[in-house]
Structure 1
Amino acid sequence: MTSRRPLFLVAGAAALAGSALIPIAPLALRDRLPDPLATHWSGAGVPDGHSSFTAWTLVCAATWLVFCACAVAVGLSGWGRRRVRGMAGATLGFGAGVTAAMIAGTLRANLDRDSYRQAADLGPGVILVAIGGAAVIGLIGWLVGSTGADQVDRPPGEAPRLREGVREGQRPVWIGYVRSRWAFLAGGLLAVAGAIGALLVVLLPEPLTPGWPLAGPLLGLSAVGLVGLTLSSAQVTVDARGLAVAFGPLGRPVRRIPLESVSTAWAEQRRPAQVGGWGYRISGQGTTVMLRKGECLVVQYGAGDDRFAVSVDDAERGAALLNSLRERETAA
């Protein structure tokens, strides 16, 4: 049975971190805010609802905790499936965006006002930025949550090995998966933090932040995080077409080696120091996708006997299938 412990750890950490961060900006600006605060506006842009500072802060925290609870509820429906993890991540990301926009927008409208009745109109532009920003952060959350393969409960005992060649008419497929945990965490954190930071600096009033001039670098930081997230994982597939290595939660980009180009394949142990470090490396041993040290699937291909390797579990079975498929094609 798939463990749900990661779900509770992620949701619990998000709930605690968010609850700790939510009061920071409001408390720092409390002396410049009216009490009660304007917390609701009519369609005409006139403040028509208010709350005390304490009640409003608690509502913001409660809103975030509700999104965390919703993410847990989504995750419980099948945490082992990528689709479910992606939906849970999207829920957390969208909730973070909504909560950040709620705080920043309310502070923006109430700052340096003598009464909540004098609160500024948020305007359609601010609302569109808030909704769009929350949607983008939700998309990043979906990408982060979708990283990883579907987790399948396997029966106990030794996994079956390829003992015979591939017969005509058979269409066997071998799929392996590898992920760099540190690259995944660093990329995901940079992507989410950069996007939330950009949303905050745009929505907060100008005396507090420079707005768009700072939003640009933060969005760039988020983009760097997304690139790191994409290159932090790979799905390796061996089938009748050859070898395919698809990167990231979207399965793009893809490195392919056609079956007719393959000379031979084997499994060997490699370390980052042997190939020049982590990531996509080119060295005297050819090209290596090094996301974790240890067992690698190595393919020799092309007229010049080029070599391509990717670190992945159960590489021996992948190499065996690739060789068998190549033998069948050669014999045909």
Structure 2
Amino acid sequence: MDRLRTWLAALVLALPPLAIAGSWAMLAPRLPPTVATHWSSTDVADGFSSTVPTALTLLAVTTAILLVGLALAVVRIAAGTRATVLSLLAAVSGVLAAAWIVSAVTTAEAGSAEGARLEWWWLLIAGAAALMLVPWFVHPRDEPASLRPAEPIPLTPTDAASWRGEASATVFLWLGIAMAVGAVALMLVLPIADSAAIGIAAGVILLAAAGFLVALSRIRVQVDGEGMRVRSALFGIPLRTVPSEHIRVVEAMQIAPLEWGGWGYRGTPGRLAIVLRAGPGIVVTTRDGSRFAVTVDDAQTGASTLAAIVERQREQEAPARRSLPGGEPSR
């Protein structure tokens, strides 16, 4: 069953070249020698390419992407890595196919490349990137690594156990700074070109993204009687809290970014991770089966401390559960 799902995830990459070939075949009688490939802000075509070379190039590229995807289905690599790469390839191939379809359809409807109007067709190009979701959800996942849960440290009922660790990624800091500079430049330049609203909106979005990157460049993980909390060490912004009463298993393991969706704050159904680099991290599995991972220095000590806190809480809850109606009488 897993092999079938792997091949289905790879074969999703056949859809873009088929879409290009099919649309080309249907529209060929109506297509002029050139097609519109770029539009100005006033919805007027201002970029053109030869029809046949453009179609052949995009068909060749998307077919090459398909072959890469089929090769990935054969080779032995981590399931998470394969799913991530297939998803990225699907996004690229989908956007390329959508770009051809938009160029071909708008040109054919107008009767000439110069008369082509983009109108709402840009939504198709933007939405084509969503093709990446198909391989991601179709592809099977590796079973969780058969690692032993973290060994709890000895704790008495009155011990105030706590631990704190940090992790940093300088590349996030520099990317955030570069994005902030770009955002400011965008807000200054676009208003000069009579696009003030667009410039300000794009700048604000970029500044928000830049701030998040800077906040994520250094994180602090706090473990105590309440559970595990992850905050930005620079701004103190809370990023994730896992209460101790929700935790079922605590593990210390080596985190491979691609197996968790990449670097940064990553989320997929049932899995959430804050990954700043490959290396040691703490992974907790909650009572509802979801998993959360965070890369942090000295992860083994942090995991052992959290495991001890969770175990002590279970021991303290056990007498109360036995005294409830239907439970064993307390002794």
TM-score, L = length of structure 1: 0.44
TM-score, L = length of structure 2: 0.44
Higher relative contact order (CA 8 A, sep 6+): 2
